[in-house]
Amino acid sequence: QERLTTSIAESIMKALRPKGVLAIIEAEHLCMTMRGVKKPGTIAQTSVVRGIFRKNAATRAEAMALIKGK
């Protein structure tokens, strides 16, 4: 999941050349549901920040609040 999140962020940066990217993936992992901790419905979240979101904490916090609907 971490590699996928990074790959998405890097692809967007390369293709679109935005000032910044904030990529977030939430997923239920079968390894957590079927074995290991055995907690069905457990969601793992990964995020990657690039550009302005990495450099400016206030901008990053504002974007995260918008994404989370707060």
Average pLDDT taken over every residue of the chain = 86
- The answer to whether the beta carbons of residues 55 and 22 sit under 8 Å apart is no
The count of domains in the chain is 1
Kindly report the CATH number assigned to the domain that includes residue 23. 3.30.1130.10
Distance CA 18, CA 32 (A): 35
pLDDT of 7 reads 97
- Answer with the residue of higher pLDDT: 41 or 26: 26
Domain that holds residue 40: 2-68
What is this structure's pTM?
Answer: 0.74
pLDDT band per the 50, 70, 90 thresholds, residue 27: confident
- The answer to whether the beta carbons of residues 27 and 54 sit under 8 Å apart is no
CB contact set of 51 (below 8 Å; sequence gap of 6+): 13, 18, 19, 20, 21
